[in-house]
Amino acid sequence: MTTLYAYEVSPVTNPDRLYFAATLDECRSAAYQQRSELRADPDYGSVDPMAIYKVEMEIPDLQTLLNGLNNSDDLTNAIIIDRKLVETVSD
What is the pTM assigned to this prediction? 0.81
pLDDT of residue 32: 95
pLDDT at 23: 98
Query: How far from the centroid of its chain's Cα atoms is residue 67's Cα?
Result: 21
Written as tens digits, the pLDDT of the chain (91 aa) is 899 999 998 766 666 788 999 999 999 999 999 999 988 988 888 888 999 999 999 988 898 888 888 876 677 777 889 999 999 999 8
